[in-house]
Every structure is written in C-alpha cells, then in structure tokens.
Structure 1
Amino acid sequence: MLPPGGRISGARLARLLGEWRRGGARQSVVDLVAALKLLVADGRLPVGTRLPSERELTEALPVSRTTITAALDQLRAEGVVQSRRGAGSWINGPVGAGGGITGADDTLIDLSRAAPRALPSVRLAMDVALGQMPEHLASHGYDERGLPVLRQRIADRYAARGLPTSPDQIVVTSGAQHAWALVLRLFVGPGDRVLVEQPSYPNSLEAVRASFGIPVPVPMLTDGWDLDGFEAALRQAGPRLAYLIPDFQNPTGLRMSSESREKLSAVLRKARTPLVVDETLVELALDSAEAPLPMAAFGGDSVVTLGSASKSHWGGLRIGWIRASAEIVHRLLSTRAAIDLGTPVFEQLVLAALLESPESVLRQRREEALEQRDVAVAALREHCPQWTFEVPAGGLGVWCTLDGPVSTRIAVVAQNHGLRLVPGPRFAVHGGCEQMLRVPYTQSPEVLREAIARLGVVAASLAGTGFRADADLSLPVA
C-alpha cells in the first residue's frame, strides 16, 4: 500500500536542493544523496512525498541518468526511499541517527532548536493559573486582544525597558510566529517585497514566502548591521515592510547599538517603510552591558514589535504578542477573525503569573543560559579549534565560521553520530552561508559536552584530518 502524500515536481525539488554539488563529478552521487537526506531530515521532503521520475530528475538537476539511478539505489538501500514498479518512488521515513529510517531514538541529540526547557517557575505558575480558571469558565473564553491582566503586565515590561506602553497597544497571540503571520497578512500582498537580514530566522523567511511576499536580503557585517546596505536596498527594492531582529539576532547573536537603531529608524521613516521588530530573545542578555532602548523608542508608530515567552520561559506555552500603535492594533483585530478567534485562556494566565515578578524568573533563565553558553564555548574551542566565532552577549546560540563550505555536509554526516543540526543555508534567503553553522546551547551542560565532542569528530572527518565521512564513528551514549 502506498503512503499518502503529494508529488513533488522535478523543478521544485531542484529549487529545494539548491547548490547541492560540493565536489567534482566523481562526488556527484555522494553529494546528491547527502542533499536529499538533509531535505528529509529537515522535513522539507515529508514522509510519503512521491519523487519525480528518473527522467524528470535528470532534466531538472541536470545530471546523468546514471547519477540519479545510483543515488536512488543508495537511498533505497538505507531505507530513506522506497520504490515499486509502476508506482514510482517515495520518501519512506525520516533520517535517523544511523542514517536510515528510525522511530524515536533516545541517542539523538537535537541541536536544531534553540529552545530551552521549562524552568520550575512555569510549573508553579500553572498552579496559580489553575486556581484562577473558575472565574473565566462562565465566560465564552474568546478574546481577540488577550486577557487584560496579561496585556497590562506585558505593557509594564516595555515601560520598565524605557518604552511607555498602554495595554491597548498589546495584542496577545499564539506565539511570535503567529504574531508575524498576522502582521504579514495585514501589510503584505502577493509580490510585495520584505526587507530582511541575511542570515535570518528560517521560519520567519518561510512565513514571508507563505504570504506570497518576496524576502529581500541585506547581508549582515561581521560586527553588525550594514546601514548603507539597508539604505541602498530601500531605494532599489521599494519594500513594503522591513523585518529585523536587533536583539541577539538569530542566528548571529549580535545586538544593534543605540546609535545604529537611531540611524536605521531615520532611514526607514524617510523611506516610509514600516518596521517589524522581532524581540523574541530580548530578555536573554548574558553580560552586564546596558541594554539599548527598544527600536520602537526610535521609530515611533511606524514600528511593530513582536514578543514571545518561548525563549524566556517555555515554548510549550505558545504565547506571543504584538505591540503597535492603536491604529495598527485596530486593523490587526479587524482581520484576525479570519485566522483565529483568540489565544487559550489558561496559557495566558500562566504567563501573567510569571510576569507578576518577572526579574526573579528571568534571572534564573539567564543564569542557566550563561552556564550553558560557557560550556558550549569551551567545548567548541576544544573539539572544533579550526572554527572561529564571537562569544555571544546573549541569546541561545553560537554562530560559527567553519574552515570550509561544508555546513550542509556536516549536518548530514552528523545524523550518523546522533546529532541533529540546521545547516547554514537554511538561514539564508537564496542559499549561501555554507561556511556557517549555528550551535544552540539550550541542552544541559553534560549533553552539550557530549554533543560538541561528536560534532568535533564530524568536523574532523570533513576537514581531512584522518577520518572518512563514511567511516563507522558512532559514539556511545552514557
């Protein structure tokens, strides 16, 4: 019986693969297998997806029929692809730690998500929220703005950071990604351009594409934002919207200075381009430097700010918010009903309890993240000495410069060593970043040390320092 799933065209698969060739012609089969396995591991080729015919693949990539046949044979041997005469080939299952198909794998260390575990304070806040639920059960439970108590505490948090805010300027959402989707729906139509950083958060880039917008990248400099590049892009591309992550930018970890915030805000105002600021990581400062004012303090009503509890408290809460002018809030609420009718009450009450005394909770999160960052930095210096990076002043990941354009290969080979990583090109708009790799430090210190030790073996195997990429280098898991 064939699994359910749509068929992907050869042209679409070629676009997903991008620049998959890394070696010469003799390396084509290995490179194609690695690239296809990465698409499966990333979920961009879901289980059940029917693949194009060998003839269509030969024309779309383009490569020889022999290369296509050999690559599919290898994927079939590993269980990644299954075929049946007369029915074609399809993706059979996810790539596991052994490189083939697996179910749940306790040996797999997931470094693909820069998301921390819940702190004990979340459990305590749930108890508080449970006690408050009875008073809400008599109502219909729908509130497109969000609970007043939560909006007030979010507004108070902005005020504490130097940005006076009214609860009427806050809309509670089901996470920052939901907030971004609502804003895109309001501002962006098919074919509209959206100015973004390069690199940037992959899910935000996908949201732009899902709204039929066109992301226009402005490359980041090694030490920050290219203000001249943004000004040039505003003139040349005429974007409908700009999207930035100025606080511990994902994935670079950089933080925009107050001077740059003021200058960039002036450039955007002059171009009449609204700015969406993603502050998902703003609460995770790990040094003692004074925090700059929020971007909205410089840009005024033209700035829409997205926030989230996912990184600071716990992703399982699925609570985010939008801070905007009263006029934009009114427009957002008028279109929200087409997407959803509000955010769950219980989770809002949990976050409201956590924000009653926010600093005590956030202090614990920062202390944990600081310890994990220092462990990751030390382990990277020990096991991957050929890589370079700046120690981030905040956030949840280290953005590493590799010793060659091997990020995709590392992500593929790492599967064979029980590691899941997101390769650098996922953070780019049109490919690139092959010499970059994000290493999140959201696991426990013990798991981080083990994970980066494995990563060092993978890096060595691809750097030609005595290991073969196809060697059996599986590490025991304690």
Structure 2
Amino acid sequence: MDRFRDPADLLAVLGDWMTGRGPLYRKLAAALRHAVQDGALLPGDRLPSERDLAGLLAVSRSTVVAAYDQLRSEGLVDSRQGSGTRVTERPGTPRPDGRVRGGTATPIFQRLIDGPGDLISLAFATEPAVDGLQECLLDLVRDDLPALTSDTGYHPRGLPVLLEALAERFTAMGLPTSTDQLLVTTGATQALVLAAQLYLRPGATVIVESPSWAGCLDVFRASGATLKGIPLDEEGMDVGALGKALADSPAALVYVTPTFHNPTGTLMSASRRRRIAEIAHRHEVPVLEDIAYAARLRDEQFPAPLAAFAHGAEVLTVGSLAKVVWVGLRIGWIRAPAAITERLARLKALADLGSPVLDQALAARLLPRLTELSQERAPALRRRLEHLCAQLSKGLPEWRWRVPDGGSALWVDLSGVDAQVFAQVALRHGVEVVPGAAMDPSGAHDSFLRVPYTFEEETLTELVHRLRGAWADLRGHGPAAVAAPQGG
C-alpha cells in the first residue's frame, strides 16, 4: 500500500520547505532529498504525481517536474510508466544502532523539533511566564531548597505537598478529591500518554471532538487507535451524535476538552457535562476530560469538571500549569478513581520514576494562586483577541470566525478555500499555519485554520499583514510559477 497515496500525507515530511532563498524547485528537491537521507521517505515509497503535488503545494506543475528531474539525476528517485515516481532502493542513513531512521510528526510537533526560525508560527499558542514566577522561584530556593535536596528525590505519584494542593484545588472546583486519586505528570501530554497506554490497544476506538487538538489525536494514533469524531455545537460535544456512536459500536475511550475546547474556544455547559457523563455511564465507556487549556478571557465562574457529574461513570481529569503559568514548567496531573490512579502510577514509574522534584515544589507554591494568575492574564489576552479580530476584519473580510468563550486562539473559516493549499502559500510569506484537516480525524474542516492571539499586538499586526499577502497571492495569482532549470 502506498504511504503517500494522499499527497497531503507528504506535508509533514516536507515541513517548511518554502522558506529560504533560491528557486522553488531547488528548495522542493532539497526537502525531498533530506527526507530520503533521513529515512522519512523509504526505498520504494511512491511520491504523488507532479500534478497532484503541485496542486497541494500551490506551485506550478513545472516546479514539481523540475524537482523530480533533479532527484532523478542524483539517483534518489526513478520514474516508470504506470508506476509513477518512487524512491530508489538505496539504504537510508543508519543510526549508530544500525537501524534506519524514519517517522514523521504533524506540523505541531515538527515545529518544536525544528525551532521557529524566521517564521511566525501558529503551531502553538504560548506566552512568556507570569510575572510572579521569578519571585516564587527565589522564595523556593531560599526557604525550601535544603529540605528538598535532602529528600530521596523519588516520588512517582507526585510530591506530597503538591498532591495536597491539587486535592484542595479540585475540591474547591466542586469535585471532592483525595490525594490517592491524583498523579503528577510531566505536563498534560504525559497524562494523555499514560491514559492511552492504560486504555488503548491497536484497533481500539477513541471518540473525540471534531475538530480536536492535533497533538492529542497524535497521542491516540500512536497507540494504534482508530479515531471517531463527534461534531460540536455552542455547548460542546453533540450528545445525540455521541449516544448514537456508542450505540452503534463500542469505544475504549471518550476524549473531551470542556474548559475550553481546543481549537474553537467553546466552554461546555454544566448540563452538557452531565449528559456526557450519563451517556458514558450507560455505555460503560471511560471519559478522559482535558482541562489544561483553561486560559480565561473574563473573570467568570467555570462549571465544575465533568467528573463532578460522573455518578458512576469512570472519568479521568487532566490539567497542567502550561497555559496559565508557563509552558516551560512541565507539571501536569491526572485525577481519576483511586484504583485507576494506582495503575497509572505504575506506568508513570516505568516511564521516568517521577517528575522533577524542584518543578513540583514550585508548582505547589503556585497552585493556590492559579485562579488569580489566570484572572491577571485575562485583560491582556482579551486586548490581543480584540486587536486580532479588528485586524482580520479590516485586512481579510472574507474570513469568518466565532469569538471564543476562552482559550488562546481563533478558529477561522477561509470561506471554502483549502487550508492545506493556503498553508503552502503562507510559508512563502513567512507564516506557518496548521490546516484544520489536521485537527479532524476524518480530514474535514479543511477550510479552517487556528490563529493564536497570544502574540504581542505588533506581531499580530505583522501576522495579518503576511496572511493578507498570502491570501492575495493565492486568490489573485494562483500557483507560483518557476523557470525551467538550465543545464544539469
């Protein structure tokens, strides 16, 4: 079976190939050459046709023809009538252990690996650390460091003082919690990975929101799971569609992001949380709720976590400090029934024997102030959202979006234009976007993209300027042309 029968599957391999200097065909050839040498493209892999790849990359067909010609001249690919263009049967670059390198990442994880470069990357919505973090760290070093460094350092479940702070916070949120129901993780992503290890086997079905956060979908896919998307309305996951999906076939897990949904920014209502818990209980399927995305725009009271409405349903709740405090403080947690937490703790111990103790101690100091810190950030986040909306309304009036309830990004509809094609044009204008199809297990929402508003206003203005240039390029000129290469 051809791995790249769908040309879109090649995008993660190519990355930001359009950046830098030189003719487009040479940059495309260089990206494909690197993929072959790195093992991301394997011997025998069939590449898309010149026409299909040109359409996806928003370049002229002659650009792809010239790139393939260059690779053929180097012996990296060959083309045969009826079988297309394939990577030649040459060995990949070996690792020190003798294995061939390979594997790809979505644009989100790939951007972390490659670094931002000169692009404005929309792959992540991040902000600098909160103002009080440095003072809190200095207080920790002054007051607690001697006791912490004389400790064994091994706390697979989590530092006791942090577990106690988490239990108090969950209880204050309307979800009574004891420390034996909690596990500290190295960020929310590890919590998702541990839950996937516990519940998922190859071929298992995970029900997710459609759209959903691409990084989380990757975690479930890595476990060999099949994803089934459920649409959203203004209150969250559609309970009618959820009930029908579970009645039609069993699922191993239901994954939701109620506060706030990523990428739409929807705040799930309390009644919707209750209904999802009831449906999950009826069909005996566990629910994994992710509330790590809880960046607020206003001073408002959130509904209690979905687990507060469980009434017999098995609900796991994931959170972290990343969005409120700093993404560099890699402390997350998972709250679950005590028996489930025990099993997760064993998986955690196998993974790393416990998260860093100093980070946990710092998190314990910050946790009682989490609501206050979130409220302090809200006015600046709201100003940036308003600025971005004003700039988009002025510069790109064809685009459509719903103002989010919270979170860190707009979910923008490009009025029917394929966001994967637009993404390639945007790269030429210095912007990396994540097409909506990457956030939908079915590949739908292909005319959407996620636009974070966590940048400073000056950067947001420049971002819209670049996006406007890319939009004009795509709508006004079509695919970019390339001059045919001269000589060899």
TM-score of the two chains, using structure 1 as the length reference: 0.81
Q: Root-mean-square deviation (CA), in Å?
A: 3.4
1:106 and 1:184 map into 2 onto residues whose CA distance is 33
Task: Quote how far apart the aligned CAs of 1:405 are.
Answer: 2.9
What are the residue-to-residue correspondences of 1:379-394 with 2, within 5 Å?
Answer: 379-394=391-406
CA contact (8 A) 1:423 1:438 kept: yes
What are the residue-to-residue correspondences of 1:295-374 with 2, within 5 Å?
Answer: 295-300=306-311, 302-374=314-386
Q: Does 1:457 align with 2:469?
A: yes
2:116 and 2:228 map into 1 onto residues whose CA distance is 38
Q: Does 1:292 align with 2:285?
A: no
After superposing the two structures, state which structure 1 stretch, 305-314 or 103-112, moved more: 103-112
CA offsets, 1:352-407, max 9 Å, x none? 22124333322222222222212111111111110111111200000011112321
Sort the Cα spacing of 1:381 and 1:86 in 2 relative to 1 into closer, same or farther, 3 A: closer
CA contact (8 A) 1:224 1:254 kept: yes
After superposing the two structures, state which structure 1 stretch, 385-394 or 112-121, moved more: 112-121
CA contact (8 A) 1:128 1:353 kept: no
The aligned counterpart of 2:38 is: 48
After superposing the two structures, state which structure 1 stretch, 290-299 or 317-326, moved more: 290-299
Instruction: Report % sequence identity.
Output: 31
Task: Quote how far apart the aligned CAs of 1:233 are.
Answer: 0.7
The aligned counterpart of 1:12 is: 3
The aligned counterpart of 1:185 is: 197
CA contact (8 A) 2:205 2:253 kept: yes
CA contact (8 A) 2:204 2:225 kept: yes
Task: Quote how far apart the aligned CAs of 1:120 are.
Answer: 2.2
Q: How many residues are paired up?
A: 428
- Identify the match of residue 73 of structure 1 among 53, 63, 66: 66
Sort the Cα spacing of 1:168 and 1:122 in 2 relative to 1 into closer, same or farther, 3 A: same
Give the AA of the match of 2:331: I
1:16 and 1:471 map into 2 onto residues whose CA distance is 19
The aligned counterpart of 2:183 is: 171
After superposing the two structures, state which structure 1 stretch, 452-461 or 171-180, moved more: 452-461
Matched position secondary structure for 1:220: strand
Matched position secondary structure for 1:129: helix
Task: Quote how far apart the aligned CAs of 1:69 are.
Answer: 9.0
1:456 and 1:385 map into 2 onto residues whose CA distance is 10
TM-score of the two chains, using structure 2 as the length reference: 0.79
What are the residue-to-residue correspondences of 1:370-449 with 2, within 5 Å?
Answer: 370-449=382-461
CA contact (8 A) 2:426 2:433 kept: yes
Matched position secondary structure for 1:126: helix
Sort the Cα spacing of 1:415 and 1:431 in 2 relative to 1 into closer, same or farther, 3 A: same
- Identify the match of residue 150 of structure 2 among 135, 138, 150: 138
Sort the Cα spacing of 1:108 and 1:46 in 2 relative to 1 into closer, same or farther, 3 A: farther
Task: Quote how far apart the aligned CAs of 1:140 are.
Answer: 2.5
Matched position secondary structure for 1:400: strand
Give the AA of the match of 2:64: A
CA contact (8 A) 2:296 2:374 kept: no
Task: Quote how far apart the aligned CAs of 1:468 are.
Answer: 5.1
The aligned counterpart of 2:134 is: 123
Q: Does 1:85 align with 2:82?
A: no
- What residue ranges of structure 1 are gaps of 5+ in the alignment? 1-9, 21-32, 95-102, 473-478
Sort the Cα spacing of 1:193 and 1:86 in 2 relative to 1 into closer, same or farther, 3 A: closer
- Identify the match of residue 204 of structure 1 among 209, 212, 216: 216
Sort the Cα spacing of 1:150 and 1:462 in 2 relative to 1 into closer, same or farther, 3 A: same
1:63 and 1:462 map into 2 onto residues whose CA distance is 19
Matched position secondary structure for 2:3: helix
Matched position secondary structure for 1:162: coil
Sort the Cα spacing of 1:311 and 1:47 in 2 relative to 1 into closer, same or farther, 3 A: farther
Sort the Cα spacing of 1:323 and 1:413 in 2 relative to 1 into closer, same or farther, 3 A: same
Sort the Cα spacing of 1:76 and 1:243 in 2 relative to 1 into closer, same or farther, 3 A: farther
Matched position secondary structure for 2:302: coil
1:184 and 1:16 map into 2 onto residues whose CA distance is 29
CA contact (8 A) 1:425 1:431 kept: yes
CA contact (8 A) 1:458 1:469 kept: no
- What residue ranges of structure 2 are gaps of 5+ in the alignment? 12-23, 55-60, 78-86, 94-104, 106-113, 483-488
2:223 and 2:117 map into 1 onto residues whose CA distance is 37
After superposing the two structures, state which structure 1 stretch, 249-258 or 287-296, moved more: 287-296
The aligned counterpart of 1:57 is: 46
1:191 and 1:409 map into 2 onto residues whose CA distance is 31
Q: Does 1:258 align with 2:270?
A: yes
Matched position secondary structure for 1:172: strand
Sort the Cα spacing of 1:182 and 1:72 in 2 relative to 1 into closer, same or farther, 3 A: farther
Sort the Cα spacing of 1:70 and 1:106 in 2 relative to 1 into closer, same or farther, 3 A: closer
Task: Quote how far apart the aligned CAs of 1:111 are.
Answer: 1.6
CA contact (8 A) 2:4 2:45 kept: no
Q: Does 1:273 align with 2:278?
A: no
CA offsets, 1:430-472, max 9 Å, x none? 31211111001111111111111211221232233xx555399
